[in-house]
Structure formats: C-alpha cells, structure tokens
Amino acid sequence: MKRLLLPLLLGLVTIVADQLTKAWALSALGDGRTVNIIGDFLSLHLTFNSGAAFSLGNSSTWVITLIAAIVSVGLPFLIARSARVPAIMLGFIWGGAIGNLIDRLFREPGFPRGHVVDMINYNGWFIGNVADIALVVAVIALVAYEFFSRDEAVEAGAQ
C-alpha cells in the first residue's frame, strides 16, 4: 500500500491541477479570446476536443471514453506491481487519463461523449491541457526509462 501513495498522490495533484485550469479556461477564455504567452508560439485559446490526442477519433468519443475508463481503473493495479520510478510515471499517466475522462463523462454533449476542454495552443500544431502534458511527459519518460534501464541490465548481465 505504501508503494501506491506517492504515485497516486501525484496523479491526484494532476487531476486537481487539470480540472482547475479547465475551470479557469472556461471562465477566462469562454468569450473566444486568445492570450499570447510567447507570441503565436505558445498561447491560450479555449477549444473542445471530441477526439483523442491531436483530435484523432472525433467520431469515436465513446470508444475513447471506454479505453480511458479501463486505463483509469487498471493503472492503480499496475502501479502497485511496478518499481518505484515507473510507478511515479504511471501515477502521472493515471492522473492525466482521469483528468480527461472526467470531461468525457460530465461535459457536453453528455455522458459518455463529452468533449475535453483544451486551452494550451502550441503554435497551431495542437491544443492541449494539463492532463495531456502529464500524459505525454510521463509516457516519454517511461519509454526513456525502459530504454536506458534495459541497456544497463544487459550491460550488468554481460559483466
């Protein structure tokens, strides 16, 4: 149980930060305005995404919701069995998945087809949110960890 505490706490912090920033975006950017942070390269603009990352699967919102629900329920079990470092990364993935799942379950147009609130515009390439940041950074970190830890394990076995 102690192994779950830090990853799940980080996941909960991610969920709260995600939902608070979405609430802020709805109130501050709901009039359609854009707030430039670093010129056009990084700005804030409210959008609603019915699909997955990069707006893929716009017509399959309920499928994405089902997958997110399975991941959200299953990840704590994986976290409990994982080594400390991957468990922390999995905690951020869990938090990001739940942050966006909340939108899919409770936002318009309704359960389970809700659209995810996005507001961070990356130079027009894509628009995301705090949950997306947690997901992407944690997945990249997990892949890097697995890549480099496997090399170390192979080198240790060769000696």
Catalytic residue IDs? 118, 132
Q: Which residues contact 79 (CB under 8 A, 6 or more apart)?
A: 3, 4, 7, 8, 87, 90, 91, 94
- Contact between 96 and 71 under an 8 Å Cβ cutoff? The reply is no
**How far is CA 12 from each of CA 7, 37, 40, 126, rounded to the nearest angstrom?**
9, 27, 31, 25
Helix then strand count (H, E) for the chain reads 4, 4
Residue 18: count of CB within 10 angstroms of its CB: 25
- Contact between 105 and 111 under an 8 Å Cβ cutoff? The reply is yes
Give the integer Cα–Cα distance in Å for 40 and 61: 29
Any idea what DSSP says for residue 159? -
